[in-house]
Structure 1
């Protein structure tokens, strides 16, 4: 749980977290209702139950997917269908076509396609990432080297080749992403 009180009004902003994922958020001026909602969440309530009891609680379909245990599939589906201009759909489709990558949790950061072996934050950073470049190429680096000046594992002009480089550098026993975080 994260709770912040507003400075100029009687209002509490709340975030409801589970396994490294912000599952829901809420805002209310009713201190008693806020306390009850927190207690309901901490008692193990499902999102739909929390929302039914406290209409000021909001959550999205990705939170529902995390709750069901299919966050990996839902996130891939979101990336494959989004009209967002910063998403390179050729790259997404090339990665999605590979079962080993499709089993990992995808996430974007600064136009870079990242893969994690867990679904919650903090994510794992032991899998190479792919960054589309301004000249239409694909730069494969380790997460900590993803800046334009960092050392590259490879640079290709085809998203399928970039994906092949990532697969060649997967850690041993890199199985499907698990629910939870990379941290303790």
Structure 2
């Protein structure tokens, strides 16, 4: 853990990362994606990260991240396929990004709370 993370709470670390991701341009992600996720208080408490234009959410702030929160994958024909990586479960298919993050928010793991400082092993 970086020394600056030792002095900051998980909520502060998560909030700072959300602030960064919400400012990303279209070269990294469709800005509507993090905005749709951020509208849900339960998702706003999770650690956000972007890879290949996809927003991933984790219950911890360090690698290895948890993989038990759904992810919305954009489909070439439009819409989103929402899948949980930990067990490859298809949570559903959504026509809009807002519907996709509603599915994710409604299918969080049991006892899912704010992200913790640490790795998935710390959960």
Stretches of structure 1 that go unaligned for 5 or more consecutive residues are 1-17, 24-45, 47-63
Relative contact order higher in (CA < 8 Å, ≥ 6 apart): 2
Stretches of structure 2 that go unaligned for 5 or more consecutive residues are none
Residues 1:96 and 2:38 aligned together: yes
- Asked if the contact 1:121/1:182 (under 8 Å) is kept, the reply is yes
Task: Give the Cα–Cα distance (whole angstroms) in 1 for the partners of residues 53 and 85 of structure 2.
Answer: 13
Residues 1:155 and 2:97 aligned together: no
Q: 1:24-63 maps to which residues of 2 (within 5 A)?
A: 46=3
After TM superposition, the score normalised by the length of structure 2 is: 0.84
Aligned CA RMSD, in angstroms, stands at 2.1
After TM superposition, the score normalised by the length of structure 1 is: 0.58
Could you tell me how far 1:135 is from its partner in structure 2? 2.8
Residues 1:124 and 2:66 aligned together: yes
Matched with 1:108 is 50
Matched with 2:8 is 68
**Cα deviations by residue, 1:30-87 (Å, 9 ceiling, x for unpaired):** xxxxxxxxxxxxxxxx5xxxxxxxxxxxxxxxxx567523221011111111124231
Aligned residues: 120
Show structure 1 runs of 4+ deviating over 3 A: 64-67
